[in-house]
Structure 1
Amino acid sequence: MFAKIITDKFYSANGFMVLCFLFLLSTGCSKSSQFPIESTSQTPSSDNSGQSTTPPDDSSGSGSGGSTPDPIDNTYKMTALAWETSSKPERTQWSLYLQDIITNQWNSLLAGSSDITTFCPKYYSLDNDHRANAWAALFVGVAKFESAWDPTTRFHETTMGNDDITGLPVYSEGLLQLSYQDIQGYPFCDFNWTKDKNLSATNPKKDTLDPYKNLYCGVGIMAKIISKKNQITVSSGAYWSTLRSGGSYQHISEIAAIVKKLPFCN
């Protein structure tokens, strides 16, 4: 009797399994959790890794000299920077990019410097978002007097000989007037001469003329300088002549005036 009960249960269970299998065949496998349907939606990549995350090359070229990074997810509403204008919408994207990399990759700047209040008097009463906004305004001020906000600007440095990387005369290039040999002291600068050497000197596809790569490198250089000197303006060893106190080409007061236009700095 016990054996019969076991046998009946066996056939009953197998019959149920057969019915389930036929049901699955009739309804299709795509609803089974073993065969999930791949989502076609994509989540924008984030540049908050702490490493150099410059935007990819734009093979189609761009009048602004570079490709636009992925949209930045930041709930903070930036106060517009001095270079922004309706006729140059790409500059608003540059502003957002500055805010992002200062807040994330180069956030050591947020601690300030011994002379940051020269540019933003209320700096130390600000939260980090507003501090990043103030730093972004400072870089815009530097770029005004370095390149007139033209990402394709080039300047022959006649007293600096040849570039150690290119073997050609040194040129300062782009928004913040950087050069290929900067990668020697600042390896986070994404300037690839091997890729660029066959391009014309003024081709906006060059890494040094890409506004995003140029800004990333320049902000990083400033962060390294501040970590060593704790000063934006120095009398010697300044990277940018526009910030060299007492120098012939300094524009410290004009740059400070640009930053002070931010209402939260005063």
Structure 2
Amino acid sequence: MTNPKHLTKAVSFAAIAIAFLLAAGCSPSSTSLKDLASTIEDGNGSAGTPDTGEQTPTEPSNPTEPSAPSVPDNSYKIEALSWETSTNPERRQWSEYLHKIILDDWNTLLGGADDMSKFCPRYNSLDNDQRANVWAALFSAMAKYESAYSPTSRMHETTMGTDPVTGNPVYSEGLLQLSYQDVQWARWCEFDWSKDKNLAAKDPRKTILDPYKNLYCGVGIMAKQIKNKGLITVGSGAYWAVLKSGGKYQKISEISGMVKKLSFCK
């Protein structure tokens, strides 16, 4: 609210100034009253439209390939994961994405698991960047035996009946072999059957086959398992058969051997 005393002062000062200009033979129109007022009391800031920083979204240049989420520069250089090859450069982006989400979104994993030494004997002496690298190596190794590193891999789960989300038989899909029904309990998973149902079974545009969405969902499932059970390998309640202790399809020694290849785990 404007102070009446200040207003009176402002008006008086302006009147004196105008009278002075007239006495000097100048028209008040030759001097801006706005400029004169600014010498009396500053305004309260710009009245322009604020810049919200928002930009108009653009479509990916190639709609058949999922676009990689932005991964900010990090001084830490992640050691190569098992899926990285010179003929598959996009997989380096998978590695960097895994490292980022483990550090930022699923950092409860950094505390490790009760059987962590089975995969990286020196885990407890590592810093957080290295620990995230270990977990990323674990997921990459799992993907070798779950999907052969293929984002469009699908397998019919013949003993699991009907997926309540799709109304079709249950399929495990993508890098970490996940299912649409997982969204019912793993609410962080971004699989959208309403968008995918009209696409071909192995269309890479399907949300469940997007390598980044698939990895994000799978890392969260592992974080929940570690929180509840404290173990990577479990005998019952295992989500992934390759990590089920004593299971028919377990690949625990192979996966641990791949993770141990990291220089700081030796």
TM interval, shorter chain, is 0.7 to 0.9
Question: 1:80, CA displacement in angstroms?
Answer: 1.2
Cα–Cα, structure 1 residues 21 and 205, in superposed 2: closer, same or farther, change >3 Å? farther
Equivalent residue, structure 2, for 1:126: 126
Cα–Cα, structure 1 residues 8 and 113, in superposed 2: closer, same or farther, change >3 Å? closer
Equivalent residue, structure 2, for 1:61: 63
Equivalent residue, structure 1, for 2:143: 143
Equivalent residue, structure 1, for 2:220: 220
Q: Which amino acid aligns with 1:75?
A: S
Secondary structure at 2:250 match in 1? coil
Secondary structure at 1:172 match in 2? strand
Q: Could you tell me whether the CA contact under 8 Å between 1:72 and 1:96 is conserved in 2?
A: no
Q: Could you tell me whether the CA contact under 8 Å between 2:71 and 2:97 is conserved in 1?
A: no
Identity over aligned pairs, percent: 55
Question: 1:19, CA displacement in angstroms?
Answer: 3.2
Cα–Cα, structure 1 residues 6 and 87, in superposed 2: closer, same or farther, change >3 Å? closer
Q: Which amino acid aligns with 1:19?
A: T
Determine the C-alpha separation between the residues in 1 that align with 2:259 and 2:234: 18
Determine the C-alpha separation between the residues in 2 that align with 1:165 and 1:59: 31
Deviations 1:19-78 (CA, angstroms, capped at 9, x unpaired): 35799xxxxxxxxx8377998x989xxxxxxxxxxxx98584334xx2211132322111
Q: Could you tell me whether the CA contact under 8 Å between 2:94 and 2:212 is conserved in 1?
A: yes
Cα–Cα, structure 1 residues 111 and 201, in superposed 2: closer, same or farther, change >3 Å? same
Deviations 1:4-26 (CA, angstroms, capped at 9, x unpaired): x9965343479789535799xxx
Equivalent residue, structure 1, for 2:181: 181
Secondary structure at 1:85 match in 2? coil
Q: Could you tell me whether the CA contact under 8 Å between 1:95 and 1:136 is conserved in 2?
A: yes
Determine the C-alpha separation between the residues in 2 that align with 1:185 and 1:219: 14
Equivalent residue, structure 2, for 1:11: 19
* 1:43-122 correspondence to structure 2 within 5 Å: 58=60, 60-63=62-65, 66-122=66-122
Q: Could you tell me whether the CA contact under 8 Å between 2:174 and 2:211 is conserved in 1?
A: yes
Determine the C-alpha separation between the residues in 2 that align with 1:264 and 1:13: 81
Q: Could you tell me whether the CA contact under 8 Å between 1:235 and 1:247 is conserved in 2?
A: yes
Deviations 1:149-205 (CA, angstroms, capped at 9, x unpaired): 000000010011111100101100000000000011101100111111111111111
Determine the C-alpha separation between the residues in 2 that align with 1:16 and 1:117: 85
Q: Which amino acid aligns with 2:17?
A: K
Determine the C-alpha separation between the residues in 1 that align with 2:100 and 2:141: 18
Listed as ranges, the gaps of 5+ residues in structure 2 are: 1-12, 36-44
Determine the C-alpha separation between the residues in 2 that align with 1:224 and 1:136: 16
Matched, 1:34 2:34: no
Determine the C-alpha separation between the residues in 2 that align with 1:35 and 1:148: 59
Work out which structure has the larger RCO, using CA pairs closer than 8 Å and 6 or more positions apart in sequence: 1
User: After alignment, is 12-21 or 223-232 more displaced?
Assistant: 12-21
Determine the C-alpha separation between the residues in 2 that align with 1:156 and 1:103: 33
Equivalent residue, structure 1, for 2:190: 190
Question: 1:121, CA displacement in angstroms?
Answer: 0.5
Secondary structure at 1:133 match in 2? helix
Q: Which amino acid aligns with 2:183?
A: I
Structure number with greater Rg is 2
Determine the C-alpha separation between the residues in 1 that align with 2:244 and 2:265: 23
Equivalent residue, structure 2, for 1:164: 164
Q: Which amino acid aligns with 2:31?
A: L
Listed as ranges, the gaps of 5+ residues in structure 1 are: 24-32, 44-55
Q: CA RMSD in A?
A: 2.9
Determine the C-alpha separation between the residues in 1 that align with 2:263 and 2:94: 21
Question: 1:86, CA displacement in angstroms?
Answer: 1.6
